[in-house]
């Protein structure tokens, strides 16, 4: 189960890196305010009405008002993957190193104190002393 989770997370992270570094363009073609065509990585196809209509405000002139419009959305990818993560000065570096050094030393095993009597055997018991001091009430 743990290996499967690691594999899935590795695949997801590769897709995140791929999508964050990739640049693409979404092209859209509108005709009279309605979207006609959408394309990714290429130019959208037109509806064939690029010539437009006559402008109603200027009836005497021969200017044409276009009914179609094109829109492009550009998504720029990240070019530099190595971002400055740590921007700390020398005093902060000294603090971090000293803190880590003291924190690591907390969990290292210390030498056991040597006991002089550890290797010698216990004395031979001749009598049970606690029975000599007992008192029985009858």
Count the residues in the chain: 138
Q: Is 0.75 topped by the overall pTM?
A: no
Name the residue among 95, 119, 37, 97 with its Cα closest to residue 70: 37
The reported pLDDT for the residue numbered 84 is 64
Among 15-19, 59-63, 73-77, 117-121, the least confident range:
59-63
For residues 15 and 77, the model is more confident at 15
Q: For residue 39, give every residue at least 6 positions away whose Cβ sits within 8 Å of its Cβ, in sequence order, or none.
A: 26, 27, 28, 45
CA separation, residue 77 to residues 16, 56, 59, 70 (Å)? 12, 43, 47, 23
Q: Confidence class of residue 83 from pLDDT cuts 50, 70 and 90?
A: low
Instruction: Compute the average pLDDT of residues 126-137.
Output: 78
Query: Rounded mean pLDDT of 32-47?
Result: 86
- Two tokens, residue 19: 């999508």
């Amino acid at each position: 189960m743990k290996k499967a989770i690691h594999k899935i997370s590795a695949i997801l992270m590769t897709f995140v890196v791929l999508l964050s570094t990739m640049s693409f363009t979404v092209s859209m073609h509108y005709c009279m305010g309605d979207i006609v065509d959408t394309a990714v990585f290429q130019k959208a196809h037109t509806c064939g009405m690029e010539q437009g209509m006559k402008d109603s405000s200027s009836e005497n002139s021969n200017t044409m008002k276009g009914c179609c419009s094109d829109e492009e959305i550009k998504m720029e990818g990240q070019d530099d993957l190595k971002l400055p993560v740590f921007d700390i000065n020398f005093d902060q570096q000294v603090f971090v190193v000293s803190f880590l050094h003291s924190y690591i030393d907390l969990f290292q095993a210390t030498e056991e104190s040597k006991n002089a009597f550890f290797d010698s055997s216990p004395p031979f018991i001749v009598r049970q002393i606690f029975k000599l001091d007992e008192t029985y009430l009858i």
